[in-house]
Every structure is written in structure tokens, then in C-alpha cells.
Amino acid sequence: MPEETEAIVLRSVRYGEADAVLALYTPDRGRVSAIAKGARRPKSKLAAAAQPGVRVAATLHPGRGELARFGGATLLEPNAGIWARADRLRAAGAILESAYRVLPEEDPSPEAYTLLTRALGLLSRAQEHPGAADLHPIVLSVRAKLIVVSGLLPELGRCASCGGGGPLVAFGAGAGGALCPDCAGLGQPADPAAIDGFAQLVGRPLSEAFDALAASNAAVVDVMIAEVLEHGLGVRLGRPSSKVLGRTGRAVRDSPAG
């Protein structure tokens, strides 16, 4: 049976002469793959709906193999503002790649769908962020919330090892989160302000991401989030990977950090 669904296009990979294999995030099925036949022909009706970062309504026709066919697509939200500026485009690439790698296939999370919908909408009108995409407040906020959706939230309010109230001066994903001076050897030293910044990103809405995280803490929060994802899921973000909004991991890494 063909299936009508909303979806966010996470990724589009060239396939054959003119087709694209899409990774979609849907509210009811989670992450699914589908083939968009002819989508890379300039006049294809599917071309606009097969771009990473857009939200669409589409029909998924069961395919002969495992891959469904993507058809009858209409744009619900093009998030056009993302393409208006390079910093937004790089941040969108980082968000879509995070979602692709963190959210498992065929495992629906309505919270994740709402998170991505809101994040791309906010990003398409976000203020300028001159630093690296991995340190963009909206990117880090999305990653912090993906950790929550994945059930991996570390302890950030007291010592994860002894339960003591702090100060919290270190962080270890394997130890369960933030650590007090007595237990600091179980993790790596971390600025208490950065640990608090991580907690703020988890607790405050996406729309407050720029206020929740001081730029000076972003790099440490990025490392803590990366540790949690690697320890919990074996996922390493930010490595060169296949095309997400046409960027490469290298391009992001090479952008100025300040």
C-alpha cells in the first residue's frame, strides 16, 4: 500500500543517471530511505522536494526491494533562508548529518521530528554565526536534545559518581556525566561553566540556544556531546562523510573557529 507521510529530507545521494536516494525522517516511521526517480533532472517535479533540509508531504510506494519509491511530493516548508547564507547552510548540514547518524532507522520519535522541524525553521532566520558549524548554538542545542531523545542524557547537576553537589570540574561519558574534584580522575577536566552550558542547552528551548550557550563554552560542550554520542552509540560526528547539503567534513573543519 502506498503511504502518505510528512518527512524532512536528511540526505540526498546521487544514484544512477538521474535518480537520488533520499534519507527521510518521518513522524510515524522514523528514518527511512526512498528512491526519487528522475529527481536530478532539472525539470523534474521532484527536484525541489528532494533537497536536504526541506519538509515535504510525499507518498512512499513500496518498492520491489527494500527501497520505497518517493513520489507525489509537495513542499510544506522549503526553509529557503538556509540557502541565503553560508553559515546557515553549514549549520543545517551539521544538523541533518547529526540526525542521520544518531536517529536509528525505522524507529519513530515524534519528538525528534518536532525538534528537526523547529531547528531548521529557526536556522533559516538565525542571526549570523561566524564560527565553525559544529560550534553553532543551534547545532549544539539540537545535538544536546538528540542525546535526550536517545535516552543518553548524562548527569549534569551533581557528581555522576558520588552524587556530591560540586563544584563540578570534570566530565566523563563513561562515568555517567559531570564529576566533582574527588571523582575527577574518572573523566577529563572541564570548565564548570561549560558543564552548566551543556545543562542549559538540554533544559532550555531551541529558540533560546544563542542565550543558553556562551561562545566561550561552545568548544568544550561540543567535546562533551561528542563523547556522550561516541560512548552511548558509537557515533562520531564531524568526520568527512557523504554529501549533506553538498558540504564535506573538511570544509567545516577548515572554517575559522572564532
Sheet strands side by side (includes 177-179): 177-179, 170-172, 188-189
Helix (H, G, I), strand (E, B) or coil at 244: strand
- With CB under 5 A as the contact rule, the residue among 13, 86, 162, 215 that binds Zn ion is 162
- Residue 102 or 175: the one with the smaller Cβ distance to Zn ion is 175
Q: How far is the CB of 118 from Zn ion (least distance, A)?
A: 36
> How big is the site for Zn ion, counted in residues (CB under 5 A)?
7
Q: Is 146 near Zn ion (CB under 5 A)?
A: no
User: 248 is written with which cell numbers?
Assistant: 564535506
What distance in Å separates the CA atoms of residue 201 and residue 120, rounded to the nearest whole number? 17
User: 51 is written with which cell numbers?
Assistant: 533537497
Q: Is 159 near Zn ion (CB under 5 A)?
A: yes
Per-residue DSSP letter, 196: H
Q: Is 157 near Zn ion (CB under 5 A)?
A: no
Q: Buried b vs exposed e over 88-97: b needs ≥16 C-beta within 10 Å?
A: bbbbbbbbbb
- Residue 34 or 184: the one with the smaller Cβ distance to Zn ion is 184
Q: How far is the CB of 196 from Zn ion (least distance, A)?
A: 17
Nearest to 6 by CA among 28, 38, 34: 28
Q: How far is the CB of 172 from Zn ion (least distance, A)?
A: 11
Q: Is 112 near Zn ion (CB under 5 A)?
A: no
Per-residue DSSP letter, 217: G
Q: How far is the CB of 198 from Zn ion (least distance, A)?
A: 17
Q: Is 164 near Zn ion (CB under 5 A)?
A: yes
Q: Is 180 near Zn ion (CB under 5 A)?
A: yes
Q: Which residues bind Zn ion (CB under 5 A)?
A: 159, 161-162, 164, 180, 182-183
